[in-house]
Amino acid sequence: MQQASVRRLGADRRRCAMTTAGRSATRGTRAVLSAGKLEQLRAALEEQRAFRIDQLAELAAADSAADAATAAVTVALRDGAGYALVEIDAALNRMRTGRYGECLTCRSPIPTERLEILPMAALCAGCQRARAGGGRP
Ligand SMILES: [Zn+2]
């Protein structure tokens, strides 16, 4: 009788040690976008992509009927829209390859607040500033 209860106590202690050992596995090393946030940013990119495609179609239609000044504006707008579309497609491609939200230059994670404002951002704010300044410090 006494023997049985002592053995059961030993078994309980072993099980307890096992559960505490399994707990140390969750250790985050860097901030990663949650699945929900990523989905939200993907939807924003798809929406902007559709907008740019519409805009390019409209600009292409307006081209032939325009005078010289309007045509110059149309070309500038078309270049801007085309460039934005390339950036949006590149961001969607990074989502597919799992590299989205990582700065292309320094590899550090781009803050979520920056991605919410600029979902197609490929660089962190620091690297973007360095590039805009022509590489000067
Ligand atoms: Zn960077």
| Annotated domain spans of the chain | 31-132
**What gap in Å lies between CA 100 and CA 93, rounded to an integer?**
8
- Distance from residue 109's CA to the centre of ligand 1 (Å): 8
pLDDT given at position 68: 86
Which residues neighbour ligand 1 (ion) by CB within 5 Å? 103, 105-106, 124, 127
pLDDT given at position 71: 85
- Distance from residue 130's CA to the centre of ligand 1 (Å): 9
pTM of the prediction?
0.69
Q: Which tokens belong to 53?
A: 């495609």
3 pLDDT band (50/70/90 cuts)? Answer: low
Fold classified for 31-132: Four Helix Bundle (Hemerythrin (Met), subunit A) (1.20.120)
Question: Which of 130, 128, 110 lies closest to 119 in space, CA to CA?
Answer: 110
**What gap in Å lies between CA 11 and CA 131, rounded to an integer?**
63
In three-state secondary structure terms, 102 is strand
**pLDDT at 66 > cutoff 80:** no
Distances (CA, A) of 44 to 57, 58, 112, 114: 20, 21, 14, 13
pLDDT given at position 16: 47
45 Cβ contact list (under 8 Å, min separation 6): 88, 91, 92, 95, 119, 120
**pLDDT at 124 > cutoff 70:** yes
- Distance from residue 98's CA to the centre of ligand 1 (Å): 17
CB 108 within 8 A of CB 124: yes
Tokens 């550090």 sit at which residue? 108
Tokens 């597919």 sit at which residue? 96
pLDDT given at position 45: 98
Q: Which tokens belong to 96?
A: 């597919």
**pLDDT at 111 > cutoff 50:** yes
